[in-house]
Chains A and B, each alone.
Chain A
Amino acid sequence: MIVLEHASVYYGAGSKRVAAVRDVSLRVAEGEAFGLVGESGSGKSTVLRAIAGLIPHAQGVVRLAGLDMGARRPTASRRMAQMVFQDPYGSLHPNQTVDQTLSMPIAIHKLGDADRRVPAALAEVGLGREHRFRYPHQLSGGQRQRVAIARALILQPRILLLDEPTSALDVSVQAEILNLLTRLRRELGLTMLMVSHDLAVIAHLCERIGVMSGGELLETTTADALAAGAVSHPYTQALLRSNQGFDASSITAA
């Protein structure tokens, strides 16, 4: 469903040229959930944005559902892959109601029938009719993230790209959103690519996991292997230890 071959993203020129992503290739089958973990600056979000077509100068090949994506994508192909961002405060327009936010993609893609589609999308993410004419500041953090997911789903995409969808949320709300994503994936047969720094969250939702550091994909493993601690790369092992809480013995001299 998602094929990425030899993707590289560079910023700057000359001696200041920085490689944000270096020669990353990955494949995600239809209906599969793939996770990318890594620390800040490891390039995981850049990979996601390159697949979404948000980085026009990205090098390499992106193929979604068998179609080659060039530097300029037709509107119809953009509909296929939709993205959910980390902070719904930042990704929802503060001066537009939920209704306006959800109607915009329908207008852009000329789907029509907004009056039926908007309540349906809200119902799908567990929000009621009463939320339709509210502004983002009138919603809780979890409700806002549900609106952001509804915004992505309203175009009926086949691929959902998730950039740290729960890291701005409290533990109890995180559980609700993770359950929602699990249910949507099952009911709609979505293919998901999720980025997070939290190994437990990634392993909960995704079967296969890629570990990134310094712009490179170090290794691809499975959630089961990760849980069993059967990972080969030393960086992955360090990441795994850090995720299990504080352990003074794991610190090598700083």
Chain B
Amino acid sequence: MTDTLLSVRNLRVVYPGDDGDFHAVRDVSFTLGRERLGIVGESGSGKSTTGRAIMGLVAPPGRITADEMRLGDLDLTRMNEAGFRKLRGKRIAMVLQDPKYSLDPVMTVGDQIAETHRQHVNAGRKAARLAALEMLEAVQIRDPERVYGLYPHQVSGGMGQRVMIAMMLIAGPDILIADEPTSALDVTVQTQVLAIMDNLVRSRGMGLILVSHNLHLVSSFCDRVLVMYAGRVVETCAAGDLANARHPYTRGLLAALPELGHRRAELPQLQRDPAWLEGSL
């Protein structure tokens, strides 16, 4: 926790529109150490855009500005596209929601992992293949040799997501951004994929940013949680303390969740306060 991997100060993402600019992310600041940081919020809260901005993945006409965005010794605010290309995979990697869409459908999963390896490490075909097999084993795929030759449509969702994790970690990045990595999976598979990701991130001393709408998942998996609303961080707290959250938005969200063993005739509905848009922190 002492060494900071990533520090972000006043990150803003703006999309120009017909009726003026749309501020998707507004003055978001946080630091990430060797820990698991969760970002929660509802659709449109800017949680995914924050993750994408760190990767330099906001396409024009969208604009990113920040007072500071620093990855180790690198200043990301001055980075151009070529710089980001070298960075992605090598220093920061991202796992998206659905492996069906993130994997190339006409290339075997093993070759895709090997390609990532060769992109970042000066290695021959054979060495890349071995590295990919090793990585498949690390994500607990039982028969790596067989799975290496499979196409994405031949693997299950849980296995596809493990392949994605293998591909993302093969170049040894410092930070993994996981954007709803398990939302497309069944609940019993979810825990398994999270556990694999957790083990690898811990053993490699990486930082993890988990972006999710699932409050239960984030509070039980992460160390620290940022709650976002309308592009702003409204609350930061230790994951274990989420139940005692102070901000009315976080409290409203928690109350609106149906709970096993605590049946209520009616769920309290979230009353949105326009003052939240101005940021009360």
Contact = CB atoms under 8 A, between A and B. Distances in A.
Range, interface on chain B: 35 or more
A26 interface: no
Of the candidates B42, B186, B265, the one having the most CB atoms from chain A within 10 angstroms of its own CB is: B186
A172 B187 contact: no
Kindly name the residue among A39, A175, A200 whose own CB sees the greatest number of chain B CB atoms within 10 A. Answer: A175
Interface in A206-254: 223, 226-228, 238-248, 250-251, 254
A172 B270 contact: yes
A196 to B, nearest CB: 10
Contact of B268 (A170, A175, A244): A175
B44 to A, nearest CB: 9
A182 B266 contact: yes
Given A197-B186, A199-B260, A201-B258, A175 B269 contact: yes
Interface string B181-206: 00000111011101110100000000
A176 interface: yes
A156 interface: no
Given A227-B263, A245-B220, A254-B140, A200 B258 contact: yes
A244 B252 contact: no
B215 to A, nearest CB: 7
B259 interface: yes
Contact of B256 (A175, A203, A227): A175
A248 B192 CA distance: 8
B253 interface: yes
Contacts of B267: 175, 178-179, 204
A40 B42 contact: no
B81 to A, nearest CB: 33
A203 B267 CA distance: 13
B188 A239 contact: yes
Contact of B191 (A176, A199, A242): A242
Nearest to A166: B258
B187 A243 contact: yes
B5 to A, nearest CB: 22
A246 B221 contact: yes
B217 interface: yes
Nearest to A227: B261
Nearest to A235: B188
Interface string B244-272: 00000000110011111111111111100
A239 B261 CA distance: 15
Interface in B112-133: none
Contact of B266 (A179, A238, A241): A179
Interface string B154-196: 0000000000000000000000000000000011101110111
Contacts of B188: 39, 238-239, 242
A56 to B, nearest CB: 29
A251 B192 contact: yes
B257 A244 contact: no
A41 B186 CA distance: 10
A247 B263 contact: no
A251 B195 contact: yes
Nearest to A38: B186
Contact of B216 (A170, A204, A244, A254): A244
Nearest to A245: B220
Contacts of A239: 187-188
B270 A254 contact: no
A202 B201 CA distance: 34
A197 B183 CA distance: 12
A106 B273 CA distance: 40
A203 B259 CA distance: 8
Nearest to A247: B220
A34 to B, nearest CB: 16
Contacts of B195: 246, 248, 251, 254
B107 to A, nearest CB: 25
B37 to A, nearest CB: 15
A108 interface: no
B157 to A, nearest CB: 8
Given A172-B256, A226-B260, 19 more contacts: A171-B42, A172-B42, A175-B257, A178-B267, A197-B186, A200-B260, A204-B264, A227-B261, A227-B262, A239-B187, A243-B187, A244-B216, A244-B260, A245-B219, A245-B220, A246-B194, A246-B195, A246-B220, A247-B191
5 contacts: A170-B43, A171-B215, A238-B188, A245-B217, A247-B191
Closest 5 CB pairs of A and B: A245-B220, A227-B261, A204-B258, A175-B256, A172-B270
Interface of B: 42-43, 140, 186-188, 190-192, 194-196, 198, 213, 215-217, 219-221, 252-253, 256-270
Interface of A: 39-40, 141, 170-172, 174-176, 178-179, 182, 197, 199-201, 203-204, 223, 226-228, 238-248, 250-251, 254
